[in-house]
Structure 1
Amino acid sequence: MPLPLPNDGLHAVNVYLLEGLADDGGLVMIDGGWAIPEARKALEEALATVGRDLDEITHILVTHIHRDHYTQAVELRRAIGARVCLGVGERPGLELLNQLRGGVACSLQVLRHAGADDVADRVEARYPDRYRAGDWEAPDHWLDAETLRFGGSELQVIPTPGHTRGHVVFLDEQRGLLFSGDHVLPRITPSIGFEAAAPGGRPLAAYLESLHLMTRYADARLLPAHGPVADSVHSRVAELLDHHDDRLGKTLAALRESAYDAYAVARRLAWTRREVPFGGLDPFNQMLAVNETVAHLDVLVLRGDVAVTFTDGVNQYERKR
């Protein structure tokens, strides 16, 4: 069931309603949508087309903490009493969102460490409320690597850090279905490490490892949070791995004769499938581009191809000879 998103380039988030799993005959929902009236109305109308009601939802399994997946789950819990489940790796981000009421999220700090103060200023000015903490309540159950049993059916919870630290996917091995959230998307590459949790770690390295993890399970049908259903998880994973290999090569090539911050490197690269120059992106997508560049540079550091030094509050990257 695609639910609308406000002022978002993705336009919709897919949520899934599973019948016949809950012991009491209720519905299990995967991802919650963004807590806006339009999404609530669309969900109610979609349920009506299959003869079901909103209050029949008993469990909401959320793939990650982003507001287009989590916030309506919390709202529905208040309204109908559904149990909300979220990956335990999201606990630090959730706690930080509650601490930062009235403060900006840490994605802007990543920009400043990348030398992109002007992008951070423009993002904060253009979206003064978008990156501020809202009402982020804890889930009823923190999910780890475990198996959820509903009647005679099972869903495996598989932690897949990268897009966020606590992202999880849900695998129904019996039916050959993977509810992939934003981990594996059929038409776009997910943003990496875009979250409120304090900067640190190497989210792209974690993401690539999580992609490889998907190939250790039998191939399944891909049910993503954005875009159409696809027949093969494995084939899309192979495309995503090839994409990041290509981006790592281009990022390394952008480091030429001296040290650069990530902002300078991002401006040397083209973006999206249309090869748009950095200057052609809006401030929000410039922020994502700088974050992506930081993630790729950090993997190159991990591989020993690039050295990094922290000077005057900014990371400087230099290609090793």
Structure 2
Amino acid sequence: MSTQWAEPGCYPVADGIHRIPLQLPQDGLRAVNVYALETSTGLVLIDGGWHRPDTYRELAAGLALIGRSPADIHDVLVTHIHRDHYTFAVELRRRHGSRVHLGAGESAGLHAIRELGNNVPDSSLRELRRAGAAGLADQVHIDSIDEPFDPTDWEAPDHWLRPGALTLGGHTLEILPTPGHTKGHLVFRDPARRLLFTGDHLLPTITPSIGFELGTWELPLDNFLRSLTLLGDADEQTMLPAHGPDGGSAGGRARELLAHHERRFDQIRSAVIDLAPCTGFDVARALNWTRRERAFSSLDTFNQMVATCETLAHLDVLVARNCLATEDHDGVDLFTLCR
């Protein structure tokens, strides 16, 4: 993905709608796009960004280019619970009284974060152990336990969003649930302008991580594929993603991602044929990763975790489709072909 889209600034995407990239620390995604919508009463922001020392300055600089300031933001609509989308929305509420809106499906995840009280991805560590990657789980825990954690970044929203129409300052959006990347992920459709604010559900050149979510494991990839199918006819809606350049057909990208995951199913089934009986960790290490086809061993610890959890998500769907069988061996799933 070209990194030009991540350059700081304020970029018009439609009449009265602007894209502002906010930088991300230690993250290969480079930046998160937040979208400022001009309304009759100020600004609505789609996604809030990551609360870090420079975020306010970056947002203020971007808005100044259109003669606005963060104080003009009266509502923030957050696509999902991850910290690069939610935590600065809460900071804007502290500073300016902005109302924060989040999908109702994220309430259990937000509760889990607040109860845990640190940045340890506890649910993912559980799945790593089920995948036979206990050593990797231990290393992820060590790497994340001392990361700074501010519980005030995870205060509850003002409003839990549910499917339907929402009008703010004369601007009407349709709220569509798209679980998969997280349990309560939402996208926002602007029917008047034929725009779709896709968060991390649709990204232009990469597929969002699947299996890095909070709470119980509920076939996240199956949920994601169903959510993609719902957008398969959105050909005339322009995609406004949280990471990467805006533009392109939302429906076309949804179909591309569906095809990608079907190819991945074939690769994973082939790996099981070669390795069975095998763990999710065995299969993950046998695959190549990212658009650059990198070896698993070349990934950093965090991305090895994401890759292993995503592999497990594919394996679980193949079991649900009766393409593979699984047996529990002391808390580790072993996968084989169905007989």
Normalised by the length of structure 2, the TM-score is: 0.90
CA distance in 2 between counterparts of 1:58 and 1:115 reads 47
Which consecutive unaligned segments of at least 5 residues does structure 2 have? 1-19
Alignment pair present for 1:301 and 2:319: yes
Which 10-residue stretch deviates more, 210-219 or 91-100? 210-219
Identity %: 51
Q: What SS is found at the alignment partner of 2:54?
A: helix
Alignment pair present for 1:276 and 2:294: yes
Aligned to 1:97: 113
> Which string of whole-angstrom CA distances, capped at 9 and with x for unpartnered residues, describes residues 140-173 of structure 1?
0001112101244310000000000000000001
| Contact 1:160 1:168 survives alignment (8 Å) | yes
CA RMSD, Structure 1 to Structure 2 (Å)? 1.6
CA distance in 1 between counterparts of 2:103 and 2:224 reads 16
The AA in structure 2 aligned to 1:288 is V
Correspondence for 1:14 among 16, 24, 33: 33
| Contact 2:326 2:333 survives alignment (8 Å) | yes
Aligned to 2:189: 171
| Contact 1:97 1:133 survives alignment (8 Å) | no
Alignment pair present for 1:27 and 2:46: no
Q: What SS is found at the alignment partner of 1:29?
A: strand
Runs of 4 or more, structure 1, over 6 Å off, are none
CA distance in 2 between counterparts of 1:131 and 1:194 reads 20
Aligned to 2:175: 157
Which consecutive unaligned segments of at least 5 residues does structure 1 have? none
Correspondence for 2:145 among 128, 149, 166: 128
Alignment pair present for 1:5 and 2:24: yes
| Contact 2:234 2:250 survives alignment (8 Å) | no
CA distance in 1 between counterparts of 2:199 and 2:86 reads 11
CA distance in 2 between counterparts of 1:57 and 1:192 reads 31
Aligned to 2:337: 319
The AA in structure 1 aligned to 2:45 is M
Aligned residues: 317
CA distance in 1 between counterparts of 2:83 and 2:108 reads 16
CA distance in 2 between counterparts of 1:208 and 1:129 reads 35
| Contact 1:110 1:199 survives alignment (8 Å) | no
| Contact 1:145 1:159 survives alignment (8 Å) | yes
Normalised by the length of structure 1, the TM-score is: 0.95
Q: What SS is found at the alignment partner of 2:145?
A: coil
The AA in structure 1 aligned to 2:312 is V
Structure 1 position 253, deviation (Å): 0.6
The AA in structure 2 aligned to 1:72 is F
After TM superposition, the structure 1 = structure 2 runs for residues 256-267 of structure 1, keeping only pairs within 5 Å, are: 256=273, 258-267=276-285
The AA in structure 1 aligned to 2:246 is V
Aligned to 2:52: 36
Correspondence for 2:241 among 211, 216, 224: 224
Alignment pair present for 1:187 and 2:205: yes
